[in-house]
């Protein structure tokens, strides 16, 4: 796998040389915020869960001037930033942004994976050795221990003997824990209306977090109902409000506005995650963390790793062409504008460094595609698994030859194959042949031999970077564009295609020049660039390159 990482680095290096040799054509660069010190007081990483790159422009006519547009007008935009691996899920995305690495090296092979040593399914941040802090649930039995490499947040702490403060915040545990790294002072995530953490970080919640929880802000937000920010006729760039292929919020029967969240009862705290108010709630908690932990007030740079999860929950249910998604981003734009104003006042313009990106994108709902004569569809992994097990048993006698299908990979029952002394290559060849017969599947390959396959170069690179020998399956398969694993309502992500892998990347603030580039940059380049700006070591499995145009 080191060859793969080197190949990625070499390719990225070549693209840097090409870009810098043609800078006038590729890059618009002007003087940006000067900064008042040798280093920023605070770095704020903002990851918008499930934000497609085109959302920067699709909703731009209705955005204000202080959020996305301010970051673009005063900061630097990498317009062609790509994810260099598959599967494009939340956990590997957050890990990649902060490690500058790929699943082959940092170990976060998906949100979940099948552990070949234990024979059990593993959630990315599961840790049975720790306990929940802040509630009586098991939602806090989490830590970053499943991630093998350091993060840029770890390296910042290491650079000054742990004087820097690092805090991670997100509704999702994985969106908070993985970016904050192994040495974080704290990571907080959401559980049933409260912010919680684990004993990995502390024995009890700080008093300020307890005060925030006591406010019951989620419950108060849910009393507001969710109606459109603007008159609904303004949302003419989205589909009609009432479409049969959208998925309603649990606890609600309709998929139309207004969403009567005030009527939610027992499930209101879960339903809260599916409203744009959850993003506001997350930003408010981030402000409280900065205020109470005095982030940016010391003699060294501090780091706040902030992830907005509600956009992913909303996007899965309603799809990228929905009024709900459009409204969520209009409200998010206001949240970002408000947060930047807060940072200006708290730390001073030019004294903080911010980047904004996404962990992945999302595909259109297949039923929406069909409505407009566009190709696409859904596939059931359980149905594929059943078909494979039937044919394996029929031709080899092995029962349950496939243990699971996850991350678009087939995990074979290796113990049983060995126990029955069957030829593994024959079983694998049988599975590949069977998969290729399915009309929605384009190709199926052995994961330990991806580099020797005839896949197109972009696919091959992404699959190779995503393959982890300890946490990936024996066979990987790919769908036709527009197809994915899912049901007949809502949508998802996870594949190599641009709708899942093309993400925004904005740098803003301390010594960031104003401009943009359209050359290829990668998610892996973010950590390397921040490391260079902070003059600290890159994370220990980093394969990305510094984005030279962003450097002062």
Catalytically active residues, by annotation: 90
Q: How many residues does the chain have?
A: 552
Q: What's the CA gap between 384 and 402, in Å, rounded? A: 10
> 329 to each of 248, 317, 359, how far by Cα in Å?
19, 15, 16
> 292 to each of 163, 194, 202, how far by Cα in Å?
17, 17, 16
Closest CA to 306 of 326, 280, 330, 329: 280
Q: What are phi and psi of 122, to 5 degrees?
A: -125, 135
Rg of the chain over CA atoms, in angstroms?
A: 23
CB 478 within 8 A of CB 458: no
Q: What's the CA gap between 106 and 92, in Å, rounded? A: 9
Beta-carbon contacts of 185 under 8 Å, excluding residues fewer than 6 positions away, are 165, 166, 167, 201, 293
Please state the separation of Cα 484 from the chain's center in Å.
Answer: 18
Q: What's the CA gap between 302 and 35, in Å, rounded? A: 16
DSSP output for 267-285: THHHHGGGSTHHHHHHHHH
Q: What are phi and psi of 485, to 5 degrees?
A: -75, 120
Burial of 112 (0-12, 13-18, 19+ CB in 10 A): middle
Closest CA to 270 of 248, 255, 247, 251: 251
Closest CA to 130 of 142, 148, 139: 142
Say whether the peptide bond before residue 87 is cis (omega within 30 degrees of 0): yes
CB 96 within 8 A of CB 524: yes
Q: At 72, which helix (H) or strand (E)? A: helix 68-74
Q: Scanning the structure block, which residue is given the tokens 């990936």?
A: 472
Q: How many CB atoms lie within 10 A of CB 524?
A: 27
Q: What are phi and psi of 360, to 5 degrees?
A: 180, 175
Sign of CA dihedral 189, 191, 192, 194: negative
Q: What's the CA gap between 527 and 305, in Å, rounded? A: 12
């Amino acid at each position: 796998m080191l060859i793969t990482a080197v190949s990625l680095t070499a390719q990225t290096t070549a693209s840097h040389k090409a870009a810098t040799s043609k800078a006038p054509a590729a890059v618009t660069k002007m003087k940006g915020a000067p900064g008042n010190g040798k280093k920023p007081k605070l770095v704020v990483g903002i990851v918008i869960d499930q934000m497609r790159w085109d959302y920067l422009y699709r909703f731009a006519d209705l955005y204000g001037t202080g959020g996305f547009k301010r970051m673009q007008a005063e900061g630097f935009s990498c317009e062609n930033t790509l994810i260099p691996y598959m599967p494009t899920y939340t956990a590997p995305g957050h890990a990649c942004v902060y490690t500058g690495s790929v699943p082959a090296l940092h170990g976060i092979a998906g949100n979940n994976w099948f552990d070949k040593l234990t024979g059990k399914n593993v959630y990315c941040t599961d840790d049975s050795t720790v306990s929940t802090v802040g509630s009586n649930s098991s939602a806090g039995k989490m830590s970053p221990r499943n991630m093998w490499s350091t993060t840029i947040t770890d390296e910042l702490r290491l650079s000054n003997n742990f004087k820097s403060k690092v805090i991670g915040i997100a509704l999702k545990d994985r969106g908070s824990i993985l970016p904050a790294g192994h040495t974080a002072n704290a990571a907080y995530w959401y559980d049933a209306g409260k912010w919680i953490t684990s004993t990995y970080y502390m024995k009890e919640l700080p008093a300020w977090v307890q005060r925030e929880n006591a406010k019951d802000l989620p419950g108060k937000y849910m009393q507001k109902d969710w109606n459109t920010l603007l008159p609904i006729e303004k949302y003419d760039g989205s589909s009609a409000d009432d479409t049969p292929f959208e998925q309603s919020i649990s606890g609600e029967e309709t998929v139309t506005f207004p969403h009567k969240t005030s009527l939610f009862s027992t499930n209101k705290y879960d339903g809260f995650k599916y409203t744009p108010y959850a993003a506001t709630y997350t930003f408010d908690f981030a402000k409280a963390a900065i205020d109470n932990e005095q982030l940016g007030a010391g003699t060294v740079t501090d780091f706040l790793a902030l992830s907005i999860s509600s956009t992913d929950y909303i996007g899965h249910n309603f799809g990228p062409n929905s009024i709900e998604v459009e409204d969520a981003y209009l409200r998010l734009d206001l949240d970002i504008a408000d947060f930047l104003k807060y940072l200006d006042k708290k730390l001073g313009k030019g004294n903080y460094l911010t980047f904004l990106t996404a962990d992945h994108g999302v595909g259109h709902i297949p039923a929406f595609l069909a409505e407009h004569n566009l190709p696409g569809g859904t596939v059931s992994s359980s149905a594929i698994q059943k078909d494979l097990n039937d044919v394996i048993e029929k031709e080899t006698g092995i029962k349950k030859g496939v243990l699971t299908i996850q991350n678009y990979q087939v995990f074979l029952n290796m113990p049983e194959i060995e126990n029955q002394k069957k030829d593994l290559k024959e079983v694998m060849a049988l599975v590949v042949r069977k998969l290729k017969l399915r009309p929605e599947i384009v190709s199926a390959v052995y994961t330990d031999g991806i580099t020797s396959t005839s896949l197109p170069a972009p696919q091959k690179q992404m699959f190779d970077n995503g393959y982890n020998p300890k946490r990936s399956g024996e066979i990987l398969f790919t769908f036709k564009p527009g197809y994915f694993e899912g049901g007949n309502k809502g949508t998802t992500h996870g594949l190599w295609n641009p709708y899942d892998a093309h993400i925004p990347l904005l740098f803003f603030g301390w010594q960031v020049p104003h401009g943009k580039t359209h050359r290829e940059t990668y998610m892996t380049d973010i950590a390397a660039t921040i490391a260079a700006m902070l003059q600290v070591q890159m994370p220990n499995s980093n394969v990305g390159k510094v984005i030279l145009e962003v450097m002062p």
